[in-house]
Chain A
Amino acid sequence: MLLALHGVSKRFGALRALDGVGVEIGGRAVGLLGPNGAGKTTLMRVCLGLLTPDEGELRVLGIDARRDPGAVRMRLGYAAEGPHRIPGLSGLESVAYAGELCGLPRRTAILRAHEMLDLVGLDQARQRPVEEYSTGMHQRVKIAMALVHDPELLMLDEPTSGLDPGSRDELLQLIVRLRDGEGPAVLLSTHLLHDVERTCDGCIIMDRGQVRYAGPLEELQRQLGDDSYELRGSGELRALAEALAGAGHQVAWGDRPDSLVVRLRPGAGPAAIWEAAEATGSSLWQVMPRRQRLEDAFMAAVAQGGAR
C-alpha cells in the first residue's frame, strides 16, 4: 500500500486545504488529479511531513508519517513544483548533494548522481550551474535529485508544467520506464489528464480538499458507464431520438448533424437502438460503443462532488 489516509484534515486559516481525506491506494503509478487549489500539493506535503495535519491518520509505505517523518522521507523521493534549487551548484553537484543529505557517502553520491543524470537524459549540461538551466533541464535535475537515494515512492508535483511538447513527452517516457522497470512507484500530481492517462494505472481525483475517487483508472471509466453509443445514420433521426428518449434512454445530439449520442438505461442492450430505428424508419450505418475518456470521468467525478 503506497498511501493510507483516514480523515486527514489540514486548515490554513479559514481555508480547508484537506477536508477529511480518506484514501487507500497502491500500484506502480498513481495520478493525483484535481483542478488548481484541489489540495494535491498539500496532500503531498502532509505525506512528507512538511506539514502537520490537524487531524487524521496517515501512513505512507506502511509508516506512520506523523510519528516518523524522517523514516518516510528516507523512502520517498520528492520533486516539488517550482524553481527549487541551490544557486551556484551544477546539476551534478545538486544531485550528489541531495544524495549526501540522504546519507550516501560522498563518493557513492557522485557516482549515483552521474547514473541518475544519465537516466533522466541530462548529458552535456550537468556541469553547468543550475540557474542557467531551461525549465525542462531543471525538471530533470529535480527528478534525478528525488531518485538519487533510491526511494520506494517517487512523488512528482506538476513535473510537466511549463515544458514544451518534446520535453514533456520525454519526461512522460521516463515515468513510464520507471513504472515498468525496477524504479520506484510513482505518485504524479498534475491537472493534465493526458499525463495520467499515459503513465498511470491508478488515480486519486481531488476537488476542494476532498477525494472524489481513488482506484484504478479502468474502474473509474467503467463506473461511469461503457453503455454509451454514438449513432450515425440518415432518415428520421429526430424521430429516433424521441423514441429512444421516450423509452427512458439519455439522448443527445452528437458533434455532427447526422449523429446521436445515446446512453442506454441500465439493463438495456444495443438491440434497443436497432428496434427503435426500425420502428421509426431510420437507417443507421454506424452504432459505435463510445469509450469514456478520462476527461469525462474526471469531470463527472468532480461534478458528483460538487452536487453533494
Chain B
Amino acid sequence: MKDQVYGVGYRRLPEGRSARWAPWPIARTALTLAWRKRSTKLGVGLCGLSVFGHGMALAAQVLAERFIDTGMGGASRAAETVVHGVIGDVHTTLANFIGVQMIATAFLLAMVAAGLIAEDRRTGAMELYFSRPLTRRDYLLGKLLAAGLVPAATLVLPFVGLWLFAAGMAPPGAVGPMLGLLLPGLLGATIAAVLLTATILGCSALGERGRTVGVIYVVGLLVLTSLGGELPASGHRWAGYLSPPRNVQTIVDAALDAGSSGLLLQVLSSRPEANPSVLLATLCVLGLSALGLGLLLWRVRKEVAG
C-alpha cells in the first residue's frame, strides 16, 4: 500500500521546555538495540550461568562445612574450624568469580558495546547526534553509561549478591570476618568493570564495524590472559602483567592484605596467582583504561571537529 501525504497540519510545541539529561536516552537506546540481538541474549545467558555456577558452588561449600560441623557435635574447636573453612571457601570462590566473570563479561561487552562508536561512524549516525543540541560530553557519557552498565550488572552487582548469599548461609561467627572480603572484592569488581568499559570503547573508537571490533577485543583479551597465566610459570614473571584479570587479582590481594585483620589472613589458605608488584599491576590497569578512554576522546574530537 502506497503511503499518502496526509493533510495533517504542523503543530507548534509549547514554549518553555526544560532541558533533560541527554546521556540516558543514548544509553537506554544502545542497550535496547543490543538486547534485540540474539548474540546478546546468549552473552547474558553465559554471564548468568557463571553467576549461577558460582552461587551453587558457594552454597555447596558453605552447607557442606555446616553439615560437617553438625556431624561433629558442635564443639567449640570444631566451630572455629568450620568458620575458617567457610571463609576460605568463600574467598576462593569469589576470587575465582571475578576472574571468570571478567572473561564472560568481555564476551557480552563485545556484543553490546563493540559497535557503540564504530557503528555510529559507519552509518553516519554521529552527524545525526551532533546536529542535535548534544555536547561531546553528553555523547561520551551516554556511551560510557551504556557500556558501563553491562559490567556493573554482570560483575559488580552479582559479586555483592554472591557475598550476601554466602553471608546469609554462613554460620554466625563467620559473617564478621567475611566483611573483610567484601570491600577488596568490590574494589576488584569495580576496577575490572572500569577496565572492560574503557577498553571496549577504545577499541570501538578505532574500528568501523562492531562485529570485527568485538572479535578482536575478545581474542585479544583471551590471548593476553592466557600469556599472563602461562608464561610466568616458565620463568617470565614480567608476562603476568599482560593479563588484565591477574592484574586485578593482584590489586584485590593487596587490598585484602592492607585492610584485613590477622585472623582473616590466617584462614585464607590459598590465594589465586598474582603478580609480584602491586604498583606495576596498578599502572598496567590504569594505563590500559587511560588508553581506551584516550582513544575514545580522540575519536569523538576528531569526528565532531570535522
Contacts and interface: CB of A to CB of B under 8 A. Distances in A.
Query: A and B: partners?
Result: yes
24 contacts: A48-B130, A50-B127, A51-B305, A73-B134, A84-B123, A84-B125, A87-B119, A89-B33, A101-B25, A101-B133, A103-B18, A103-B19, A115-B11, A118-B8, A119-B10, A121-B3, A121-B4, A121-B6, A137-B3, A149-B132, A173-B5, A181-B9, A182-B9, A183-B10
Contact of A178 (B10, B29, B132): B10
B269 interface: no
B6 A85 contact: no
A45 B306 contact: yes
Given A45-B306, A150-B13, A86 B123 contact: yes
A84 to B, nearest CB: 4
Nearest to A100: B25
Contact of A120 (B5, B128, B304): B5
A248 interface: no
B13 A74 contact: no
A81 to B, nearest CB: 10
Contacts of A120: 5
A70 interface: yes
Contacts of A74: 133
Interface of A: 45, 48, 50-52, 70-71, 73-74, 76, 78, 80, 82-89, 93, 97-98, 100-106, 112, 115, 118-125, 137, 145, 147, 149-150, 170, 173-174, 177-178, 181-183
A83 B36 CA distance: 22
Given A100-B25, A121-B6, A85 B128 contact: yes
B20 interface: yes
B2 to A, nearest CB: 8
A71 B128 contact: no
Nearest to B5: A121
Contact of A50 (B4, B29, B304): B304
Nearest 8 Cβ contacts at the A-B interface: A84-B124, A121-B5, A150-B13, A100-B25, A183-B10, A78-B131, A74-B133, A73-B133
Given A83-B124, A93-B29, A101-B133, 7 more contacts: A48-B130, A73-B131, A84-B123, A84-B128, A86-B128, A115-B11, A170-B5
Interface in B243-294: none
B77 interface: no
A123 B11 contact: no
B38 interface: no
B166 interface: no
Contact of B26 (A80, A101, A182): A101
A88 B129 CA distance: 16
A181 to B, nearest CB: 5
B1 interface: yes
Contacts of A71: 133
Contacts of B123: 83-87
A284 B257 CA distance: 110
A76 B6 CA distance: 24
Contacts of A103: 17-20, 22, 133
B135 interface: yes
Nearest to B304: A50
A179 B41 CA distance: 47
A82 B29 CA distance: 22
Contact of A174 (B5, B11, B18): B5
B132 A101 contact: yes
Nearest to B30: A86
Q: Is the interface of B mostly helix, strand, loop or mixed?
A: loop
Contacts of A145: 128
A73 B22 CA distance: 14
Contacts of B3: 121-125, 137
Nearest to B135: A70
B302 interface: no
Interface in B44-58: none
A121 B7 CA distance: 9
Nearest to A147: B10
A224 B304 CA distance: 41
Given A78-B131, A84-B124, A103-B17, A97 B6 contact: no
A88 to B, nearest CB: 4
Nearest to A73: B133
A101 B21 CA distance: 9
Nearest to A181: B10
A164 B3 CA distance: 14
B213 to A, nearest CB: 15
Contact of A101 (B12, B22, B306): B22
Contacts of A123: 3-4, 6
Nearest to B120: A86
Interface in B192-226: none
Contacts of B13: 104, 112, 149-150
A80 B119 contact: no
Contacts of B29: 86, 89, 93, 97
A150 B17 CA distance: 11
Nearest to B303: A50
Given A80-B127, A89-B33, A103-B133, A182 B11 contact: yes
B210 to A, nearest CB: 10
A101 B11 contact: no
Contacts of A76: 131
Contacts of B20: 100, 103-105
B73 to A, nearest CB: 62
The interface centre, meaning the residue of A48, A102, A125 with most chain B CB atoms within 10 A of its CB, is: A102
